[in-house]
Structure 1
């Protein structure tokens, strides 16, 4: 992988992992089109990068805004799409506002799929192209307190697998990379304290960004980050009852912190 030859559309660029990805890619010389909701943050990020970058402040759930972003990608001859945009919610499902569920599915699933679909003609026309979807360990392990988020990331994982198989006879590579808990603004002090009490490791956005780029360089079609998270993913697929019992022991603690969220 020659990153200096890549022209990349990165969504969620104003978020924690997205920002770290932008910096890591820029250091490698990639040409970037940054997309996010916060124009001030995007401009500040573009000013910080060691190479020039374009940016667009867009709501990916808005059809017209999404189409304008695709047109900007066409003008820049983008050959890689990194879907890093997403939202999270910690709390018990029966207490989550219905509009929060709708907003999460709209961004994490619907808008991401529709943007990818709109980008496919451009990517398929290139000699070689890449789609990188940022998932989560919770896309493979249903975790108490994250029911809607787990549903959205499980959908993204299934989408990535299916799309990869649909495009097997093309030069478009599809990667799914699933970080574990990460120290970003999406995880507030309640979540950080919960993870500390349960002994759950948390990565920095910079660690995640470097791991994502390594996965693409190594042509890993699906990669789950962190240990023992990778082991739990395998156990959950083969003997889910083992994971059920392990999480049952954590349930009272999760419920206590969910009441503070």
Structure 2
């Protein structure tokens, strides 16, 4: 499926920065939304500001019980679920030594493991409602390893690989798996240090609204993957064929990057 009008769409991380902008854009485009997030207060707020007052379900998708309850909730909705957009994620910038075991496990769980588990658990429902779509929202950092983001990159590289492999696994069905990769975005995921570092390096950052509109435009195409932003999409391609050139670029930037480590 490519048209969003009248489609039933589950959005995870719907109360986040990109999530809030995206559900507004989807609502305007005529989607029938189901919202989920771990933050009940913000989720209620998001739903209440929308004309259709879409149904929402508070869930921690890293929790198997919550996932099962969420899927049961989706099964009860009309029209039947046709699309899931996985937006849930967390970030941490700093040296690898700054990532303790608790943070490591949390990032791997939220950014990767629970995304995989949710796709697995939703597949029976999406298979019943073909044509259907899974859109995993990753990052440019899922294709380029950047100093200070070693763990975050690992999770996003993993999500990109999972999306690619699952898409090929399901290529004999009408369940499409697609991958969308924004660049730096002006949300609460980036703290003051990251914003200052991006400014020092001359890195551009998009607004959540811009990312939401680009994601909406991507949905309306048949493309399997999309990388947002220039020159970032160029560096994604360059890193895949001539990684040594990208290595040299980061070697030059490394003193500036490390200045912002905690």
**TM-score category, normalised to shorter length:** over 0.9
Structure 2: unaligned runs, 5 residues or longer: none
Residue by residue over 1:134-153, the C-alpha shift from the partner in whole angstroms, topping out at 9 and shown as x without a partner, is 00000000000001100000
CA distance in 2, matches of 1:206, 1:158: 27
Structure 1: unaligned runs, 5 residues or longer: none
Residues 1-261 of structure 1: pairs in structure 2 closer than 5 A:
1-76=2-77, 77-259=80-262
CA distance in 2, matches of 1:199, 1:58: 38
Residue by residue over 1:36-87, the C-alpha shift from the partner in whole angstroms, topping out at 9 and shown as x without a partner, is 0111101110011122201111111111001100111111121100000011
**Which runs of structure 1 show a deviation greater than 6 angstroms over 4 or more consecutive aligned residues?**
none
TM-aligned CA deviation for residue 101 of structure 1: 0.8
Residue by residue over 1:93-112, the C-alpha shift from the partner in whole angstroms, topping out at 9 and shown as x without a partner, is 11212210110000111111
TM, length-normalised to structure 1: 0.97
User: RMSD of the alignment, in Å?
Assistant: 0.9
User: How many residues are paired up?
Assistant: 259
